[in-house]
Amino acid sequence: MKITDLNEINKAAYLSCLEEWSDEMKERGNHKECWYNKIKDKGLGVKLAETENGTVVGMVQYVPIEYAPAEGKDLYFINCIWVHGYKKGQGNFQKKGIGKNLLQAAEEDVKQKGASGLAAWGLALPFWMKASWYKKQGFVKADRQGISVLLWKPFIENATPPKWIEKKKFTPELTPGKVTISLFINGWCNAFNIVAERVKKIARELGDDVIIREYDTFEKNSMKILGKSDELFIDTKKINTGPPPSYEKLKKIVTKKVARIQKKNT
């Protein structure tokens, strides 16, 4: 196993989050590619774990905190770290220390870039991106919003700890007689990109009864509207998007709302 940098050979695996085999991943659209093109010259860091035959089985991606849903000074922020764990595709490579090696490579990289520390987000609950895993790697809690924990590892004594962007209440702008889908999308996360493409497909299918208002949160000021990089509202209802709800579930929600509007108008 070796840790490598992003290159033209392994780029496709990275952009598909190592899941080129997945039919669901084919629904993601081009959001990750667009995000990559905007961030690649602004400090994006990517490290990949490859087997001897060049199969990519793990990745970590990190950005200057100026492009993350957190505030900080001279810090980098880990968007995600992922080691392939499905039986399909490459197979399960978790529980082999690959994640630790990827994290160590990221730490060494941002130290060379002059960062005063490395931040990351994790969940307080015991599933994907566990905060407890980061704590075992020497990270400590800096802030918390609900189940989302902001952790960090300072590299210098006087480093300033990060904090989450202030979470704000968002009131969707509704259009009378229409179902309004409010889509806050950054592009870095393919799981949410899949959700975005599903609701766009539903909107196309249901026609003029549905309006999509899309908010690009690549820039920090746009991210501060909500305090998050990705979120979905259908009318005033916030939709839980982790894990991504199915196309069928989302269409059922929207279709019911359309039917109510049509009934009211007859």
Distance between CA atoms of residues 55 and 171, nearest Å: 45
* pLDDT at residue 136, as a whole number: 96
pLDDT tens figures, 220-235: 988 988 888 999 999 9
Structural domain boundaries of the chain? 2-164, 179-265
**Residue 93 amino acid letter:** F
Mean pLDDT is lowest, of 7-11, 111-115, 249-253, 261-265, for 261-265
**Least-confidence region, from 62-66, 200-204, 225-229:** 225-229
CATH of domain 2-164: 3.40.630.30
Average pLDDT over residues 137-156: 97
Confidence of residue 264 (pLDDT cuts 50, 70, 90): confident
**Cα dist from 27 to 149, 155, 216, whole Å:** 29, 40, 19
Can you give the pLDDT at residue 226? 83
Kindly tell me if the per-residue pLDDT of 147 is higher than 90. Answer: yes
d(CA 233, CA 254) in angstroms, rounded, equals 11
Over residues 78-102, mean pLDDT: 96
Whether the model pTM is above 0.85: yes
pLDDT of residue 263: 84
Fold (CATH) for 179-265: Glutaredoxin (3.40.30)
Determine the Cα–Cα distance for residues 37 and 27; give it in Å rounded to an integer: 19
**Residue 119, C-beta contacts closer than 8 angstroms, at least 6 positions apart:** 65, 68, 70, 72, 75, 76, 77, 78, 142, 150, 151, 152, 162
